[in-house]
Homo-oligomer: A and B are copies of this chain.
């Protein structure tokens, strides 16, 4: 079933909306992100993908991806043939459920991002995104007591949150001054979870 291992460098495009839905990847190492690009260059980052996530889940449903998927860091992927993988998965109850779970988790996450962007002010959006990412990373063992690799730069965050890079910066700066987190050189360390949770809830 596995078709091989592929590597991508930062910024490289892994999958496009116009690609045929013939391939699925699984992230072995590195981060990627999926974004919808508008005609004039604006883009909405719809999701960040971390090791263990699938890229091109929609291929399993015969659909091309919604957005463009690009590598955020040097990335190692396992490559599968969509048809092969699908028949493998739907052969067993476990497989079907795993696929369904992944699809739904993805949709749920997007709905929550929509809620963040639609209803929260800048500080709440940043806090909510960081907490959501930390939770996902922790489940997979990539976060140690709130400290983890965090490759997105402030422009990525801005595009994910519907903010401006400058404003993301001010917001992170403020969090740092309040002692809520440390952040430099691609590492994030969340110091005060409960305070960030409060901000995510109230702002």
Contact = CB atoms under 8 A, between A and B. Distances in A.
Contacts of A58: 104
A156 interface: no
A115 B36 contact: yes
Contacts of A44: 114-115, 118-119
Contacts of A42: 119
Q: Which of A38, A62, A106, A107 has the largest number of chain B CB atoms within 10 A?
A: A107
Decide if the interface of chain A is mainly helix, strand, loop or mixed. helix
A43 B201 CA distance: 12
Interface in A155-190: 159-162
A36 to B, nearest CB: 5
A61 interface: yes
Contacts of A36: 111-112, 115
Q: How many copies does the complex hold?
A: 2
Interface residues of A, number: 36
A38 B113 CA distance: 13
A39 B110 contact: no
A115 B36 CA distance: 7
A133 interface: no
Contacts of A162: 117-119
A77 interface: no
Nearest to A161: B118
A119 B39 CA distance: 12
Nearest to A202: B40
A108 interface: yes
Interface of A: 36, 38-40, 42-44, 46, 58, 61-63, 66-67, 100-101, 103-104, 106-108, 110-115, 117-119, 159-162, 201-202
19 contacts: A36-B115, A38-B201, A42-B119, A44-B119, A46-B115, A58-B104, A61-B100, A61-B101, A63-B104, A66-B107, A66-B108, A103-B103, A106-B107, A107-B110, A110-B110, A110-B114, A113-B114, A117-B118, A118-B162
